[in-house]
Amino acid sequence: MKRNDIIYIALIAITVSTITYFIANNYFSNTTSDSIKIKTVETITSTLEDPSPTIFNKEAINTSVQILIQKPSGQ
């Protein structure tokens, strides 16, 4: 390759990389500066609390118990 070819290739590479940089910077720089409030997680403790009686009712049906439905005997 001649010296002029190397200079042209370098000039083209610099031009393309500069154009690409400005296009990418313009495309990705549209971030919003709005503040966002997020929920924070409460700290985990080693103490156990009683479960809520509205959720864990002692008289509720236990769905993990298998139920067999069949005709009554004698019919």
Q: Which one-letter DSSP state was computed for residue 42?
A: P
Q: Which one-letter DSSP state was computed for residue 50?
A: P
Predicted pLDDT of residue 29: 75
Q: For residues 9, 12, 14 and 18, what is the CA-based torsion angle, rounded to 10 degrees?
A: -160
pLDDT in tens, the chain (75 residues): 788 899 999 999 999 999 999 998 888 776 666 778 888 888 888 888 887 777 777 776 766 766 677 877 765
The model's pTM: 0.39
Q: Which one-letter DSSP state was computed for residue 56?
A: S
Q: Which one-letter DSSP state was computed for residue 1?
A: -
Per domain, the residue ranges of the chain are 1-29
CA distance 32 to 51: 43
Enclosing H/E stretch for 13: helix 3-28
